[in-house]
Amino acid sequence: MKFNDAILRGDFVKAKELASQMNMDTLRDTLFLLAYEGGSIAPYGFVNYLLLEEETSEIHYITSYLLSMALNHLEGAYQIAFHHAKKAAELLPNDMSYKEYLLFFHTIPERLLRKDEAVKIANIILENEPNNKAALLVIKEIKK
């Protein structure tokens, strides 16, 4: 059975077994395509299954990415994505990529990440990565 078939059939045990042979980028991209092109929320169900088995920053990020990029047309998707993005950053606080991803939630029309939080996160990123484009852009935009 192929990975996508296992996801769409709800056979998350088999899907997890097949996913163990993928790196995180491949897993993210495969789930994204299945959700985006296939219009299925089954990949979201699968990542929730994985989170119940073991909560990791990587899986929280993939969950957030699916919701914010592939399933954002669903009511409440950005809010749930924001929750998972915060959990990813909380679980690995020294990983600037998760903090940078949080800034995305300041740029969407819903502005889920408040201005003061965005500035704080951008400044933390800039302390570690002085040329980080996303953080610099947020600071520049807020100063307008």
The pLDDT tens digits for 58-68 are 999 999 999 99
Over residues 70-84, the mean pLDDT reads 97
User: Quick check: is 44 in a domain?
Assistant: yes
Structure tokens at 61: 């990020």
The count of structural domains within the chain is 2
Residues 3 and 33 in one domain: yes
Residues 67 and 109 in one domain: no
- Phi, psi of 23, deg, nearest 5: -85, 170
Q: Are 102 and 121 in contact (CB under 8 A)?
A: yes
Give me the amino acid identity at 20.
S
User: Quick check: is 88 in a domain?
Assistant: no
pLDDT tier for residue 47 given thresholds of 50, 70 and 90: very high
Residues 69 and 128 in one domain: no
Owning domain of residue 101: 93-144
Confidence (pTM): 0.94
Over residues 106-121, the mean pLDDT reads 94
pLDDT greater than 90 at residue 144: no
Residues 142 and 105 in one domain: yes
User: Quick check: is 19 in a domain?
Assistant: yes
Residues 20 and 54 in one domain: yes
Of 113, 19, 109, residue with least CA distance to 72: 109
Over residues 47-69, the mean pLDDT reads 97
With a pLDDT cut of 70, the percent of the chain lying above it is 100
Over residues 78-94, the mean pLDDT reads 98
pLDDT tier for residue 143 given thresholds of 50, 70 and 90: confident
Residues 33 and 102 in one domain: no
- Kindly report the average pLDDT of the chain as a whole number: 96
pLDDT tier for residue 43 given thresholds of 50, 70 and 90: very high
For residue 128, the model assigns a pLDDT of: 96
